[in-house]
Each structure stands twice: as C-alpha cells, then as structure tokens.
DNA sequence: CGCATCATGTAAGCTGTTACATGATTAT
DNA sequence: ATAATCATGTAACAGCTTACATGATGCG
C-alpha cells in the first residue's frame, strides 16, 4: 500500500492539511500516484491512530495541519530502503500506446496527435518548474527529479513526432 | 476501467486462453498494467456475457480459447480513439524516486543502485526483443513501441548513473 | 508414482472512485 | 447577498489482492 507512504513522504517534506495534500497529489505526484480527498482524510485519521502522523496545528475553517512523527519517519525510511519494491504499474496511457498499432492509419494518427499535445503541455509545465528552481525560488534537492521528468517526456514527445512523420 | 480494454486489445492481437492472457499481462503489458488470473477469468466471463468476446475453441485441460467479436472490436476502437483518456497513473517506483531526496546519502545511494540493476535487466530484455523483431521472428507493427520502451529505460538508466556519479 | 506446469475458478478483505453532505471564509 | 473557494468528512459501489480450491497433462 503506497498511499500511506506517499502521504508520509509529503508530510516529511512539509507539514500539510488534508486539503493541501490533495492538491499536492494533483500537482507534484500526478505522474506517479493519484489520490482524492475521500481517500486522504480517512487515511490521515488511520495514520494518526497508528502514531505515524500528528496534528501540529489547527487553523481557520477547522483545518488541521498534520506533521510526520519520528516513528512515521522510521516507517517511511523502511519502505524506501528496506522493503521489496513493487514494480507493477497501472498506466492507462501506456496500455493505449501499446495497442495503438491495432488502429487504422487515420485513427492512429489522431491518437498520436492527441498524445503529442498532452506531452507538450506537460513538458512546458516541467520546464517552467525547472526555471523556478534555477532562479532559487524553490528548494534544490528535488531538481534531479524534475530533470528526469523532462527527459522522459522529451523522449516520448520525439517518439510521437517520429511516428507522425513516418505515417506510423 | 481499462482491464477489460487491455483484455480486448490482447485478444484483438490474437485469440488466447485466460491462462495465456495472464502470462501476457506479466510479459508484454508488465510496464503498463498488471492483472492476475483471479481478475482475468471473471472479467472474461463478463465480457462473454456482454458479447464482446466469445469462445472460439476448447482444448486440452478444459482450456477455452477466447476471441474478440465485432462488437468487441468496436468497443476497443471507441476506447482507444473516442473516449477521454485517463492520464492518472499508479507507479510505486515513481513515488519512491520522487521521495528519494529525503534519504541520507548512503540510503539514497543504495536505492539508486538497486533501481539501476533493475533498469539494466529491463533494458536487456527489451533489446533482445528488438533483436528478435529485426530478425523477423516476430510481427513488425509493434516495433516502435519496443523502441519507445528502450528509449525511456535508457534515459532512466543514464539519469541513475549520473546521480550515483555526482553523489546525488 | 510424484512433481511441475497448465488451466480454471471462488471468496474474503482491502483499496480506490463517485456521489452525497456540510460548513467556513473570501471576493465581488 | 451570493458565488467561489477552502476545508473536511461519509457511504455505496467497483476494482484489485491474497488465499483457497480443484483438476488435467506431461515428464522423469
């Protein structure tokens, strides 16, 4: 179960409310894991009962800011370093790309075009993020991760352009 | 729900038994979608009731070979071309990579080494597959998809090597 | 004959999605 | 005022995992 570890990881980066975590899943973690608020709030309650997170402050609109505890940090480190990684993935776009050769040329072309627009938007977002980091507007330790995202999306973009050029 | 469409896609490539589909999910589709036999058999039964697949032959050990029907092909095309793609992903390795900067240098190094070995094995498998396709031992239409897999894994491999070289 | 592999299924429990529900605060 | 956004929760249902269960066939 990696929802709980994703939450622990985000809280290790900085204390957050459930609402903020929901947005972080939508933004930073979007390409690796998805979770909606209806899953996040109950999971935070469970993690609190297990002593892995705690409420560190309460703000306006009955908001609760959670922080990771020492035993939460231990659990997170254990998952990252010690536990056997689960390499299985669920990626609908990957399935679609895998099956695209079944389509006739016109449909194939249309789906590659659609994917290309999407990747280009994705790349723009990542490049903007990199620019912000370079301008020291953000902490640096995650710069290599952003770079990897850019490289993977660049490879996909170029591959899609080739397929479109070659009538593939 | 893309399990049903992944099954339709695999059956569009060639008729198969549930057992063979299980192996294909483990091999060809491994990096995009996972499904085990306990999910595949009930789903085949559902697809048959819906008229999207049919039993085309029965073999030894009470095995049933399923093929896609015309209405299954329509449904598959609709999903691939017409339907709004779900871009959300579930990728535990991605979450782990995203959170790795939280670790101290020794732990970080260890997890990058572990991931590097894994990617290298993955790449070897894909390169072997490409060699088989080039030697015309396999049908050609999926060659670009194999090439994309190789390029993505190469980018990840090189990134990991850089992180290890830079003490990142 | 016994083991590995092929082959298909079901059941319990956990994970994730969609929809429902409510209230607080800020901006227009 | 009232609409948008912030903020938290619950319930019903669908999807997925793990474990249980059984039988057929081929190989040594």
Contact B102 A12 (CB under 8 A): yes
Looking at residue A140, what is its pLDDT? 77
- What is the Cα–Cα distance from B124 to B9, expressed in whole angstroms? 26
Structure tokens at B142: 């999926």
Q: Answer yes or no: are the C-beta atoms of A97 and A145 closer than 8 Å.
A: no
Cβ-count burial A133-148 (b if 16+ within 10 Å, e if not)? beeeeeeeebbbbbbb
Point out the residue among B13, B144, B156 whose CB comes nearest to the CB of A168: B144
Distance measured from the CA of protein residue B51 to the C1' of nucleotide D14, in angstroms: 21
Interface test with A, best of B95, B106, B118, B146 (most A CBs within 10 A): B95
Structure tokens at A144: 């290599």
A7-17 mean pLDDT? 98
- What is the Cα–Cα distance from B152 to A149, expressed in whole angstroms? 11
- What is the Cα–Cα distance from B20 to B34, expressed in whole angstroms? 14
Q: Using a 7 Å CB cut-off, which residues contact strand C?
A: A 1-3, 34-36, 38-39, 60-62; B 17-20, 22, 37-38, 41-42, 44-45, 59-64, 88, 90
DSSP state of A55: E
Using CA coordinates, name the residue in chain B closest to A14. B102
Which chain A residues are within 8 Å of B32, Cβ to Cβ? 89-91, 94-95, 97-98
Candidates B90, B100, B93, B86; CA nearest to B153 is B93
- pLDDT tens string, chain B, 168 residues long: the values are 799 999 999 999 999 999 999 999 999 999 999 999 999 999 999 999 999 999 999 999 999 999 999 999 999 999 999 999 999 999 999 999 999 999 999 999 999 999 999 999 999 999 999 998 888 777 678 899 999 999 999 999 999 999 999 876
**Nearest protein residue to C10's C1' (by CA)?**
B38
The count of C-alpha atoms lying within 13 angstroms of the C-alpha of A93, restricted to the half-sphere facing its C-beta, is: 17
Give the pLDDT band (50/70/90) at residue A110: very high
pLDDT 10s digits, A22-61: 999 999 999 999 999 999 999 999 999 999 999 999 998 9
Looking at residue A59, what is its pLDDT? 94
pLDDT of A155 over the 80 cut? yes
Looking at residue A167, what is its pLDDT? 73
Contact B88 A92 (CB under 8 A): yes
pLDDT of A104 over the 80 cut? yes
Contact B90 A91 (CB under 8 A): yes
DSSP E strand stretches across A1-88:
16-17, 53-58, 64-68
Point out the residue among B77, B101, B111 whose CB comes nearest to the CB of A141: B101
% of chain A beyond a pLDDT of 70: 98
Candidates A76, A46, A73, A81; CA nearest to B113 is A81
């Amino acid at each position: 179960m990696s929802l709980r570890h994703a939450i622990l990881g985000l809280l290790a980066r900085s204390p957050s409310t459930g609402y903020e975590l929901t947005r972080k899943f939508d933004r930073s973690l979007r390409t690796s894991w998805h979770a909606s608020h209806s899953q996040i709030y109950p999971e935070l309650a469970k993690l609190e009962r297990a002593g892995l997170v705690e409420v560190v402050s309460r703000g306006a609109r009955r908001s609760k800011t959670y922080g990771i505890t020492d035993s939460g940090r231990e659990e997170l480190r254990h998952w990252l370093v010690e536990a056997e990684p689960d390499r299985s993935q669920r990626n609908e776009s990957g399935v679609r790309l895998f099956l695209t050769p079944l389509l006739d040329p016109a449909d194939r072309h249309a789906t590659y075009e659609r994917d290309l627009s999407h990747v280009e938007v994705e790349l723009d977002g990542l490049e903007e993020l990199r620019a912000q980091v370079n301008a020291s507007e953000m902490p640096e330790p995650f710069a290599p991760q952003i770079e990897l995202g850019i490289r993977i999306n660049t490879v996909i973009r170029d591959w899609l352009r080739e397929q479109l050029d070659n009538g593939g």
